[in-house]
Chains A and B, each alone.
Chain A
Amino acid sequence: MDATVEMNMEKGFNGENCAPNIQERLQKRNQARIEDAERKKETKQSQSVAEEKGEYFSNAFNTERACIDELLSNCSGADRAVVTQKLEEATAKTLQLQKFLSDSILFLTPYELSKAQAALQKLQSSIAETREEAMPKKKFAFRGRTKASDKVSAKASAAAPRDSAVTKVDGAPNPKQCGFTNMSNELLTKTAEEVLNQDMLLTHLTNCKVRLYGTPSTLHLKHIDNCEILCGPVSTSVFVDHCSNSTLVFPCQQLRTHHTTNTQVYLHVTSRAIIEDCHGVSFAPFSWSYPTLHEDFAVSGLNRDTNNWSQVDDFNWLAAGTPSPNWSVLREEDRKTFL
């Protein structure tokens, strides 16, 4: 630069030498400009990461997706162990892809994002489909205890599909659970010793009168029709499901009532009672007295002075202010006392 300036000063007034001089200067300036642009480009490149480009993302995403698709398509017809391994790999890859997408959210356009999400969802469902196809779910069931000697053969056959002789959970008898099931037209009672701290289960009872003296830990009633069920203080929760035309009498901490119609509940509840999918359920205060009731209350730990029997929450009726049409307070003249 200095040289140019000097030259300018020396020959500044010399018209002949002016032209090449200017040309030279222009050339130098142009050179500098190009270098500057180059430098800027370089710094910009060093700052931005190749991974944070929509194009890079969609390329990587699609490659990975194709890879998973291929894994899945190889599953049909393959043997079980191979399928398991391939499915596992596909699931892991899908998870990775999901993570990749979550990490890339910031620089993706909403369109690219939703496209990728849809693709992922499709992958997940096709994994599920392939799994369903290749290895149908094992049905859970309780079986009799296998003896030690049987265990080896049981293990050997574990990979094979279970036979159809297994019983479903619903019908499984449980030696440890206390209660009554599949009875009609009977008077059923249990003593305080039998009931103490048990989880009581009463199912499929019709036209029965049930008296449970004492304090169970919890009580479940299911598929009850036209029964009168009286129970001592239940220290935790009572769960009622599919009960109709019946009378239920008990103290408890919580009561959940489902799918119940035309039923009267004589209740002592220390927290709250709720109903869900019920019609025509009416509530009254607990009114059964038997000789050891007072002691049983003490054993259960329930507070005898707190009874919220009339504060029922209906999960199908959340409008505050208007009372639910699904339950009512039983009129005093219609209430009974049980002995």
Chain B
Amino acid sequence: MGLRTILKKMKQKEREMRLLMLGLDNAGKTTILKKFNGEDITTISPTLGFNIKTLEHKGFKLNIWDVGGQKSLRSYWRNYFESTDGLVWVVDSADRLRLEDCRQELSALLLEERLAGATLLVFANKQDLPGALSKEAIKDALALDEIKSHHWCIIDCSAVTGEHLLAGVDWLLDDIAARIFTSD
């Protein structure tokens, strides 16, 4: 039995996953986190630093890191890359003016070797807004089809209504679980 098998078994026993949630400021990262956890979302302030939440879902223990997206915080994102199983990239679907920014930040992240093994979930958030772009438009704008280095999926959602949040997280967990817990 190799060491890798042992480590895998240990992780399986704990069934623990580390998810990192990133995106531009005002994308709705904290709102997604709190809504998913069933907390009040009307008192959320712009994130000055990061939030971490540990919660149980589908028998997994999820450690979700939500790091602030302001420009001055982005250089600190790297401090959170280590042993990330899943990357959640949150997009404000109505913010057309910063889609190019959004694409650049995401593609830079995907080159990070410490995120090389992570599954990517893109949340096309704020679908409750009348001006929100569809997930297809976001997929094109972020050039997701060009991503060959990561498993990825885009889900349209609304953190305010909670729509599709569960679907997104479920897909992410299934993909990660298939990768770390069952493949041998």
Q: Which residues of A contact B (CB under 8 A)?
A: 49, 87-88, 91-92, 95, 98-99, 102-103, 106, 117, 120-121, 124, 128, 137-138, 140, 142, 169-170, 172, 174, 176-178, 197-199, 201, 203, 217-218, 220, 222, 236-237, 239, 253-254, 256, 258, 270-272, 274, 276-277, 301, 303, 313, 315-316
The list of the 10 closest CB pairs from A to B, nearest first, reads: A272-B45, A177-B131, A271-B45, A199-B129, A199-B131, A315-B72, A274-B46, A199-B94, A140-B141, A176-B131
Q: Which residues of A contact B111 (CB under 8 A)?
A: 124, 128
Asked whether, in the complex, the Cβ of A217 is within 8 Å of the Cβ of B128, the reply is yes
Asked whether, in the complex, the Cβ of B131 is within 8 Å of the Cβ of A178, the reply is yes
- Output the least CB separation between B78 and chain A (Å): 15
B140 within 8 A of A: yes
Q: Which residues of A contact B44 (CB under 8 A)?
A: 253-254, 271
Closest residue of chain A to B116 (Cβ to Cβ) is A98
- Output the least CB separation between B3 and chain A (Å): 6
Asked whether, in the complex, the Cβ of A316 is within 8 Å of the Cβ of B141, the reply is no
Asked whether, in the complex, the Cβ of B46 is within 8 Å of the Cβ of A170, the reply is no
Asked whether, in the complex, the Cβ of B71 is within 8 Å of the Cβ of A276, the reply is yes
- Output the least CB separation between A144 and chain B (Å): 14
The SS class assigned to the B binding surface is loop
CA distance A315 to B74 in the complex (A): 12
Once A128-B111, A140-B141, A274-B48 are accepted as A-B contacts, the answer to whether A169 and B100 lie under 8 Å apart by CB is: yes
Q: Which residues of A contact B73 (CB under 8 A)?
A: 315
Q: Mark B1-34, 1 if CB is under 8 A from A, else 0.
A: 0111000000000000000000001100000000
> 6 new A-B pairs (CB below 8 Å) besides A91-B148, A198-B131, A272-B45?
A87-B148, A137-B146, A138-B143, A203-B97, A254-B44, A270-B42
CA distance A271 to B46 in the complex (A): 8
Asked whether, in the complex, the Cβ of B113 is within 8 Å of the Cβ of A256, the reply is no
Asked whether, in the complex, the Cβ of A316 is within 8 Å of the Cβ of B26, the reply is no
Once A138-B143, A271-B43 are accepted as A-B contacts, the answer to whether A276 and B72 lie under 8 Å apart by CB is: yes
Once A124-B111, A199-B129 are accepted as A-B contacts, the answer to whether A236 and B160 lie under 8 Å apart by CB is: yes
B109 within 8 A of A: no
Task: Give chain B's interface residue range (CB within 8 Å of chain A).
Answer: 35 or more
CA distance A274 to B45 in the complex (A): 9
10 contacts between A and B (CB under 8 A): A87-B148, A138-B143, A169-B100, A174-B131, A176-B130, A199-B131, A217-B128, A253-B42, A303-B42, A313-B46
Once A271-B45, A274-B48 are accepted as A-B contacts, the answer to whether A197 and B26 lie under 8 Å apart by CB is: no
Counting chain A CB atoms within 10 Å of each CB, which of B103, B116, B137 scores highest? B116
Once A218-B94, A272-B46 are accepted as A-B contacts, the answer to whether A121 and B71 lie under 8 Å apart by CB is: no
CA distance A54 to B45 in the complex (A): 51
- Output the least CB separation between B42 and chain A (Å): 7
Once A140-B141, A237-B26, A253-B42 are accepted as A-B contacts, the answer to whether A88 and B96 lie under 8 Å apart by CB is: no
